[in-house]
Amino acid sequence: MSQPVRLFCWHFMSYPHVPADFDDKYETAWITVPNRLWDRDKSKGLLNGYIDQLAYADTLGFDGMVLNEHHQNIYGLMPSPNIIAAALTQKTSVGKIVVLANLLPLHGNPLRVAEEYAMLDNMSNGRVIAGLAPGGGQETFNYNTPAAIQREQFWEAVDLIEQAWTREGPFTFEGKHYPLRYVNPWPQPQQRPHPQIWIPGSQSRETMRQCARRGHCYFLSSRVHGGAIAKARQEFSKILDDAGSKYDPFRMGILMSAYVSETDEQARVESHEGIWYFLKNCLKGHLRNFQGRSLTFGPGVPNVDPADYRRMLENTKPGRAMLGDVDDWDALTKAQSILVGSPDTVYRQIIDLVRETEVGNLLIQFHMGNMRDDLARKSMRLFATKVAPRLRDESRVVFAPHFQELAEPA
Amino acid sequence: MEAEKREIDVRGRKVALVEAGSGPPLVYLHGFADLHGVAGNLQPFHEGLAQNHRLLAPAHPGCNGSGDFLQGNRVDDFLFHYCEVFDALKLDRFALAGHCVGGWLAAEYAVRHPERVTQLALIGATGLFVAGEHIGDIFMNSNPDHGTSLATLRHMLFASQDAAQALRYYPDGRGDLDEEMRRYGMLRFGSAIGFRPPYLYNRSLVDRLYRAGMPAVVVWGAEDHMVPVSHSRAYAKHLGHSTLQLIAGAGHAAHLEKPGEVLAALQPFLNS
């Protein structure tokens, strides 16, 4: 029997209190969104409430909790996810703590990231999954990381972190961007040889090649439908083959959002406000093309190799719709990124995706936009009790023919 | 005008070059809205420069057929790149002109090797820090608004975002693929040389400008929305021997918008 899918609860920790006319009045939710909109009174306890939701996920039996790093925006209030992770080490005891990710070019020196992950790994009794990422377009503006050398800087930083965890110190790191005479971090991570490293990518082959070569888990961060995920997964499989490695469902992760309620109808009614707040407010400046200015990708963020950029121009039309451009539930359902419905509906959508893609790490956002705490918890609870068991059982069957040799998770 | 396009090898790096005209050598270093930065060939302004000179216009690393920027990511790296380009071209003494980032590199070269520069001409040059007068964010404005609109980028580069040249080279939606790729190459070069603070400037440059004692002219669009006109005054004030000319009704790409007026400001100076 194969391992079942691993189900992670992702929290973005969005800012839930922008005014109702935000989309009409403000050009973007990122970088230049005026921070006078931060309401000190309403925001009391906000982050702690979000942390408690993640602790609740741990009691519900999720395989882990996922955090991410974003800056100067309303989409995610975790400029330093390691601080939230530190809180989770004290409030949870079972699930993995997945920090996806620390954005390496934004940190003065990646040695600091190696040190903080090592601390978290010790504080959590070896539960850390260490995400490493270069940062998207917004972060080049937020932290002045020159896009043209962002990737090169990033992979050098990954080298430094891996070596800091595996090479006997002290040693000298002869980097171009991060030369260090003395690398010798204390503490070392608890997990041996080191915490799993996950690297997010948005279908770039270069990122897949590096993950294949280095043995990391590839996390597809794009909000794309099943067909595109399957295509990325096929590409990654081939790249793994070429690297002398082999695909298994846990070499890859995907992102989705879900809201579960008793019935399809009730799920839509309850999640409506939070989802549309997320789509129209949080995604403005990110995954919305028809309104505002998306800074996630594009010529102003020239971090893509020119040959790849040319291929992208040849294969896409300008101004195509993105997730935040959907205008009704039908379009949202078609986009296959936010799954809303009864336990049975959500189960069927996810298991279809698992069959189509054979991806084993499912990272699921439950709290969206300004969703109320009780609704987010209800959705998580229904998922954990009525969707997750079926997914685990059936995914074993799905994976078994191809991945029988997989051991039970540690 | 007959222009020759060729590639030269500079210590293993490929440099695309356009050459035209005859006479004393004049090196032209380009900016964003410019030859190599978006246009593939000489524009009327550049042809005007070649009337009485042997014009040599190399494309920056990664731009219009030049090899990608290799190890470079600081102004010094690119300055040494040009030291080697000029040596490869066997240029001893020459006039040096530049627009935008090209003007910045021209000024950086002139303060290091004043003995090799006979005249210095700067058009809408970046390179200086002027407190409270920031160079505009060409990167953020290069990502389309509402998916397809480049109106704010055109506004940054031209006096009017509806100007024919602006719409020709920065249309909404998808432009000509080769032009899109030239723009992309120029943004990559711009990112490497000036994305991090300092944003397209070098704080040390202003105190070195006195070393550029050759005759200099500073030409600026009076409606430059990218590099504030105050920067033209700072260049003119600190360069050894310079004059300043503002071009009425022109923006950052004054040489594309009003080539006649910009040439009228430059030619007597370059021909003297």
Q: What is the band of A316 on the pLDDT scale with cuts at 50, 70, 90?
A: confident
Q: Is-contact A151 A134, C-beta < 8 A? A: yes
**Would residue B85 be called left, alpha or beta, if left means φ above 0 and alpha means ψ between -120 and 50 degrees?**
alpha
What's the whole-number mean pLDDT along residues A68-89?
A: 98
Classify burial at B3, counting beta carbons within 10 Å of its beta carbon; exposed 0-12, middle 13-18, buried 19 or more.
Answer: middle
pLDDT tens digits for A229-265?
999 999 999 999 999 999 999 999 999 999 999 999 9
**End-to-end CA separation in angstroms for chain B:** 23
CA A131 to mean position of chain CA atoms: 9
B138, B140, B184 member nearest A306 (Cβ): B184
What's residue A356's pLDDT? 95
What's residue A410's pLDDT? 43
Report the alpha-carbon angle A152-A155-A160, nearest 5. Answer: 125
Q: Is A319 on the interface with B (CB under 8 A)?
A: yes
Q: How far is B24 from chain A (nearest CA, A)?
A: 36
The bridge status of strand B94-99 relative to strand A171-173 is unpaired
3-state helix, strand, coil in chain A (%, to 5): 45, 15, 40
What's residue A408's pLDDT? 52
3-state helix, strand, coil in chain B (%, to 5): 40, 20, 40
Size of interface A-B (CB pairs under 8 A): 95
What's residue A406's pLDDT? 67
Tell whether the model's pLDDT for residue A117 goes beyond 90. yes
Give the separation between CA B162 and CA B257, rounded to whole angstroms.
Answer: 12
User: Does B27 fall in a domain?
Assistant: yes
Kindly identify which residue of chain A lies nearest to residue B151, measuring between CA atoms: A293
Tell whether the model's pLDDT for residue A24 goes beyond 90. yes
CATH of the structural domain A6-403, one choice from 3.20.20.10, 3.90.550.10, 3.30.930.10, 3.20.20.30 = 3.20.20.30
Tell whether the model's pLDDT for residue A278 goes beyond 50. yes
If one counts the domains in chain B, the total is 1
Instruction: Tell me the residue range of the domain where B31 lies.
Output: 3-144+177-271
DSSP B30-86: --SSSBTTTBSS--HHHHHHTTSSEEEEEPPTTSTTSPP-TT--SHHHHHHHHHHHH
Give the separation between CA B24 and CA B269, rounded to whole angstroms.
Answer: 13
**ipTM score for this prediction:** 0.93
Tell whether the model's pLDDT for residue A154 goes beyond 80. yes
What's residue B194's pLDDT? 84
A146, A149, A293 member nearest B144 (Cβ): A293
Percent of chain A with pLDDT over 70: 98
Structure tokens at B210: 């006195």
Q: 3-class SS at A281?
A: helix
CATH of residue B219's domain is 3.40.50.1820
Q: Is A153 on the interface with B (CB under 8 A)?
A: no
User: Does B152 fall in a domain?
Assistant: no
Report the alpha-carbon angle A323-A325-A328, nearest 5. Answer: 95
Structure tokens at B3: 């222009």
What's the whole-number mean pLDDT along residues A209-228?
A: 93
User: Does B151 fall in a domain?
Assistant: no
User: Does B140 fall in a domain?
Assistant: yes
Stated pTM of the model: 0.93
The pLDDT tens digits along chain B (272 residues) read 789 999 999 999 999 999 999 999 999 999 999 999 999 999 999 999 999 999 999 999 999 999 987 667 788 999 999 999 999 999 999 999 999 999 999 999 999 999 999 999 999 999 999 999 999 999 999 999 999 999 999 999 999 999 999 999 999 999 999 999 999 999 999 998 887 766 899 999 999 999 999 999 999 999 999 999 999 999 999 998 999 999 999 999 999 999 999 999 999 999 98
Interface of B with A in 61-80 (CB under 8 A): 62, 68-69, 73
Q: What is the band of A223 on the pLDDT scale with cuts at 50, 70, 90?
A: confident
Q: What are the φ and ψ backbone dihedral angles of B256, each rounded to 5 degrees?
A: -85, -35
Q: How far is A361 from chain B (nearest CA, A)?
A: 32
Structure tokens at B218: 């500073």
Show residues of chain A in contact with B171, CB under 8 Å.
none
Sign (positive or negative) of CA dihedral A325, A331, A334, A336: positive
Going along chain B, which residue ranges are E strands? Answer: 3-10, 13-20, 25-29, 54-58, 94-99, 117-123, 215-221, 241-247
pLDDT tens digits for A178-211?
999 999 999 999 999 999 999 999 888 889 999 9
For chain B, the residue count is 272
What's residue A182's pLDDT? 97
User: Does B166 fall in a domain?
Assistant: no
